[in-house]
Structure 1
């Protein structure tokens, strides 16, 4: 982490993308904003932390057997964090993920400003460190609000950590809140969540190329979606015009932010994310009642909970694209089950051979098309 009191990073030609968002400020502000979670005693806190660590270990063998994929030896153990811990980890990962994208934004802006300055016979004037710092703090405030809200929703995560070492995480207060809200067996629910997240860990550790593929695609699309400096005002007006439709659920946020060509690229990444989320949902359920006795009850109540967002929560989900993520769970699980029904788990696992065997956007809704293309 960098010293938030230091001036923005600069090169010989001016500031870099890291100057656009003060990630340390965002993490600190989000940690102050977020509520701590359900009221509980120290003994219960210690108990859930211990049990989640145990559940992560217990999930490894059932997931490996069900998915026929193996987490390699030496993979770091799971972390159990509170909401501020999740915020800090994700602020660091978001900063690392977006740094090349923001570098491109800065370079585009500098090129456009230089062209305008040359046209007027002037030298390019870079913003001073104080002005850059004010801008990054304002942006960091906006990021803080997003991180604070998300940190109350996430149960677990496999953090891809573009800046360092990927790690499986569980957010203890959110798991405690969810199991109380659903009124389910706590031990079964904690193990069930662990099955889902362990499946994500095995996806990225047993398939060595997948992590860099996802990071690369996300950065590429982020760079493409960023509007050119000369069109920024027009794009903002278009977004403002379409935003009411997003809030009413009439259109998806990506329909507002992206051009038709960019939406095609987004659809490719969405198909892969649907695969990953659907596969994790299928595995966590297929492990079965011999390992998690109340799995059917948990799945039924959890599915209803996913549908139950209302009011401001639903609006925020739409603005952040979370409703699209809910569809990924559903559509991906349908795809995975349909493929496994036709070619079994071993046949399904051909999906992990290379980027070329990942499902296309049209194939998520037509599993037979993927089977025909990959299996012939």
Structure 2
């Protein structure tokens, strides 16, 4: 469960080549009959529609206009959609001026998308379709996980849709969020105007003072986030912090909604949550752990935990209506320290 913003890599990318490479490298989904595939596609489509009023009722967030149907895709189709979304988000062109550089970065980007495509269940992309947004559900991965966890397919499919539809409601009810995210991403990827010596100096200072083997403060893989921050300018660090906090809030809020809908809509919700969390925490082969670390996916799992704890605490103390003050604008988003101590956000904002 992610957004296209989580996969941003850079601007000098041949996006069409990235999509081609990613689609060729993407692993096939689990063996399934035509009937199983058709049934999963149909049920995910209907579950996304069913989730919309449930999410609105729990969150109290109102959206306007017609709700477009979800796109239910396979892994290759998701790679193509993600590459196109990233191109639009980064204001890229089909082919950058540096052909060789564009092909190299395109191949790297395609390899990343292929790796991610085997694990992502769904994605709401606020930047697609001229910023009207698009909800994608990756049916081979949904089938794979529900088989692995031995849980009722109908319940699990609705549960997944509740999370992704919550992201759609977050962005459609609060239109400023997409611009806020886009501005942060633009700052992160903008050339800071510094020479290589300055960047190398900051990196050397980081290694000397802390060492790349030290775990980051968020508990993610050793030093990955720290190395990124070490080569950034101060405005870029601030933008990164803002995006990390926003991502933590969005994911935690969606996880809260998944469980708040309750057993009347998802009868086996408690079993699904327990087995799904066990799956998140399961140890993985060394190569896969390294890939997840380099892509920041382990840090993203921590976002779910911390974000849900924040939302659970605030909603438990003041109720969902007052919690929704968080969506008023950038100034009411939690600060990094407030994610860890929700009472500080309540004291400052409410």
- What TM-score range do you get, normalising by the shorter chain? 0.7 to 0.9
Which whole-Å CA distance do the structure 2 matches of 1:31 and 1:372 have between them? 49
Match of 1:149 in 2: 115
Deviation of 1:252 after TM superposition, in Å, equals: 3.7
Scaled by the length of structure 2, what TM-score is found? 0.87
Deviation of 1:173 after TM superposition, in Å, equals: 0.4
Match of 1:346 in 2: 321
User: Pick from 84, 88, 96: which aligns with 1:96?
Assistant: 88
8 Å Cα contact 2:215-2:223 kept in structure 1? yes
Which whole-Å CA distance do the structure 2 matches of 1:246 and 1:368 have between them? 27
8 Å Cα contact 1:252-1:318 kept in structure 2? no
Matching of residues 65-104 of structure 1 within 5 Å: 65-99=57-91
8 Å Cα contact 1:351-1:358 kept in structure 2? yes
Match of 2:227 in 1: 256
User: Pick from 189, 202, 219: which aligns with 2:186?
Assistant: 219
Unaligned segments of structure 2, at least 5 residues: 1-9
Which whole-Å CA distance do the structure 2 matches of 1:180 and 1:230 have between them? 49
Match of 1:230 in 2: 196
Scaled by the length of structure 1, what TM-score is found? 0.81
8 Å Cα contact 1:239-1:257 kept in structure 2? no
Deviation of 1:232 after TM superposition, in Å, equals: 8.2
Deviations 1:193-222 (A, max 9, x none): 000011000000011111111111122123
Q: Deviation above 4 Å: which 4+ runs of structure 1?
A: 235-250
User: Pick from 233, 236, 239: which aligns with 1:265?
Assistant: 239
Matching of residues 106-255 of structure 1 within 5 Å: 132-161=98-127, 164=130, 165-223=132-190, 228-231=194-197, 234=200, 251-255=222-226
Structure number with larger C-alpha Rg: 1
Deviations 1:171-210 (A, max 9, x none): 0001011111111110000000000011000000011111
Deviation of 1:93 after TM superposition, in Å, equals: 1.4
User: Pick from 277, 281, 306: which aligns with 2:255?
Assistant: 281
8 Å Cα contact 2:184-2:240 kept in structure 1? no
Q: CA RMSD in A?
A: 2.7
